Amino acid sequence: MSKKILVVDDEPHIVMLVQSRLMAEGYDVVTSSDGQDALEKVRQSKPDLIILDLSLPVMDGFQVCSALRADSVTAAIPIVMLTAHRDAQDITKATELGAVSYVQKPFKAEILLGIIQGFIND
């Protein structure tokens, strides 16, 4: 059974790029383009890992991460931040809120895949 990953980003080309690469690696991929929808998709699809942008409509990535960590059902799902934010304070805040990794855009797909594989091995 393949592992499920939720990709949350409001940039369609980033979603398509990440989704196609993950699917090529055998992952089942669910996508979302805003924070509120992402929380609903987590409850519906029960992903094994979440790739989360910080700059999102409705709820930003920090709010989504915080809400997921506050819920005992979703608290243990690994969250990888994939974002253009480069500020050290953002990296620190994401880590404090429970993100397991922080990848800056532009990114190398191989690095993102390595991080993912480190958290969800088949």
Which CATH number does the domain housing residue 23 bear? 3.40.50.2300
Q: How many domains does the chain have?
A: 1
Q: What is the pLDDT of residues 24-79, one digit of tens each?
A: 999 999 999 999 999 999 999 999 999 999 999 999 999 999 999 999 999 999 99
Residue 122, pLDDT > 60, answer no
Q: State pTM to two decimals.
A: 0.95
Percent helix, strand and coil across the chain, each rounded to 5? 45, 20, 35
* Cα–Cα distance for residue pair 56/25, rounded to 1 Å: 26
Domain that holds residue 56: 4-119
* Cα–Cα distance for residue pair 3/1, rounded to 1 Å: 7
